[in-house]
Amino acid sequence: KFDISKNLLFFFATTIQKSIKLKFSYELKASWERVKNENIKLPITANGEIDFDFMENFIKAIQKLIIKDLVIWSQKKIEATKQVVEF
């Protein structure tokens, strides 16, 4: 049995979206009948198997970067607010 995590689903969704983005449009909808036959590229291990660990860790790293950026942004906003309030 294979358990799929939320992070793997994020990776799959983004990969699918990126691989079909240029092939479909508002006029040519990406319906399941059209998309199900599309090939997507996934990272693989040295053994040629899908590298689920890489995908999981990649999404975790992206999430950490986003959190870091949000913390920096919020700190700048707090400092700017303090400067305005002090006047």
Secondary structure, 3-state, 37-74: CCCCCCCECCCCCECHHHHHHHHHHHHHHHHHHHHHHH
DSSP 22: T
Which tens digits make up the pLDDT trace of 1-46?
568 899 999 999 999 888 888 888 888 888 888 888 888 889 999 9
Q: Of the given ranges (45-49, 61-65, 83-87), which has the lowest mean pLDDT?
A: 83-87
| CA-based max dimension of the chain | 64
